[in-house]
């Protein structure tokens, strides 16, 4: 192949990739909906959630292109006159009010790959608790969730609306109906299990060495 042919082939491939990117981006969608959330205090709030969808390859098969959720959601709500906003990859199942009257968001740490993006190490129970700063816009997390959260039932919908279902308002009854199969299949996602643990989570080096010593002693 001559140099001119190689150059033409290079530009043809670049054009094809660019055209594909334009097509895929044009096929993106954003789904927005509202949910009724009964809180652990006995109060009820309404939250707004947004989830972008985009053309992506399937898990284990990148050529299985389809419209899929990006898993980077935004949650907005107001509690006692203060506005809160979270944007991130945590698959939030719980919104709970701490004894300090500050809301926490809680998610299974392994869902949506959150743990690997944030180097969240193995803990029991394996959930992440997101706590807002004074602006209600920035969230941090302790090493483990706080015990007051144990055994709380999920109050945020896990069955994500698909494109075409946007703009709807879901009551707690709607949520219970949509999430029924999930709650049966994944009990640790339906209620915070104080003993919940998983395999394949990130292990601190000191914990890994300790486990190695424990195995050698047996």
User: What is the per-residue pLDDT across 173-187, written as a single tens digit (0 to 9) for each?
Assistant: 999 999 999 999 999
- Give me the residue spans of the domains in the chain: 30-217
- pTM of the predicted structure, to 2 decimals: 0.79
pLDDT over 60 (residue 210): no
Which pLDDT does position 31 carry in this prediction?
93
pLDDT over 80 (residue 208): no
pLDDT over 70 (residue 214): no
For a pLDDT cut of 90, what percent of the chain falls above it? 63
Which pLDDT does position 11 carry in this prediction?
46
User: What is the per-residue pLDDT across 82-100, written as a single tens digit (0 to 9) for each?
Assistant: 999 999 999 999 999 999 9
Which pLDDT does position 23 carry in this prediction?
40
Which pLDDT does position 215 carry in this prediction?
31
59/32: higher pLDDT: 32
Which pLDDT does position 6 carry in this prediction?
56
pLDDT over 60 (residue 12): no
- pLDDT class of 201 with cuts at 50, 70, 90: confident
Spatial separation of the C-alpha atoms in residues 215 and 180, rounded to whole Å: 40
Which pLDDT does position 207 carry in this prediction?
54
User: What is the per-residue pLDDT across 106-153, written as a single tens digit (0 to 9) for each?
Assistant: 999 999 999 999 999 999 999 999 999 999 999 999 999 999 999 999
């Amino acid at each position: 192949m001559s140099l001119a042919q190689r150059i033409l082939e290079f530009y043809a491939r670049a054009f094809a990739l660019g055209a594909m990117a334009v097509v895929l981006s044009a096929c993106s969608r954003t789904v927005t909906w509202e949910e009724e959330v009964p809180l652990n205090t006995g109060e009820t709030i309404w939250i707004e959630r947004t989830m972008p969808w985009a053309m992506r390859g399937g898990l284990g098969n990148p050529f299985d292109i389809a419209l899929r959720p990006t898993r980077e959601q935004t949650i907005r709500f107001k509690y006692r006159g203060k506005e809160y906003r979270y944007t991130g990859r945590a698959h939030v199942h719980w919104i709970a009010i701490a004894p300090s009257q500050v809301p926490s968001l809680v998610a299974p740490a392994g869902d949506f790959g959150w743990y690997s993006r944030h180097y969240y190490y193995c803990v029991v129970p394996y959930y992440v608790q997101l706590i807002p700063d004074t602006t209600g816009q920035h969230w941090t997390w302790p090493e483990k969730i706080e015990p007051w959260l144990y055994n709380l039932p999920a109050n945020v919908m896990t069955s994500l609306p698909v494109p075409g279902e946007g703009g709807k308002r879901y009551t707690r009854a709607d949520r219970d109906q949509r999430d029924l199969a999930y709650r049966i299949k994944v009990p640790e996602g339906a209620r915070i299990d104080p003993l919940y643990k998983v395999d394949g989570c990130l292990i601190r080096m000191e914990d890994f060495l300790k486990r190695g010593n424990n195995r050698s002693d047996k």
